[in-house]
Amino acid sequence: MESFELAKSAARLLDEKKAENISVIKIDDISSLADYFVIANGRGSTHVRSLSDELEEKLKLMGVMPMRIEGYRSDNWVLMDYANVVVHIFTQEARDFYDLDRLWADGVKTDWQEDRFLMEYEAKTEETP
């Protein structure tokens, strides 16, 4: 799976499970760490773990396995490394503290919802007589 498709899939799966403030940042031009960061937050530590569990399970069904997962037992931040895509799931407090959005502001924020809005628009226009 291409990096951008994986990042979009991760963002959509997190969105389906009610993750908040989802960002997809393209960083391949400024770092060799990954091509994309997906950053999201849950409503609390239980939600953060639930989001990471669901994401890991759904991506495995798509044939995508994480290289490593860190912070699962912590109360505030889970990092899921899928090689070219790194997913960060925070509590709101941890996200505010670490502020990865600001640290990676030189990256390009990517519209991971674009295809979905296009599909919804096309579906609505097909329904209209």
Tell me the pairing of strands 20-26 and 36-42: antiparallel
The Cβ-side half-sphere exposure at 107, using a 13 Å CA radius, reads 23
The domain limits of the chain are: 3-127
- Determine the CATH number of domain 3-127: 3.30.460.10
pLDDT digits (tens, 9 = 90+) for 5-53: 999 999 999 999 999 999 999 998 898 889 999 999 999 999 999 999 9
The whole-angstrom separation of Cα 44 and Cα 8 is: 23
Per-residue pLDDT, 117: 46
pLDDT digits (tens, 9 = 90+) for 78-116: 999 999 999 999 999 999 999 998 989 888 888 888 765
**pLDDT above 60: residue 121:** no
pTM: 0.85
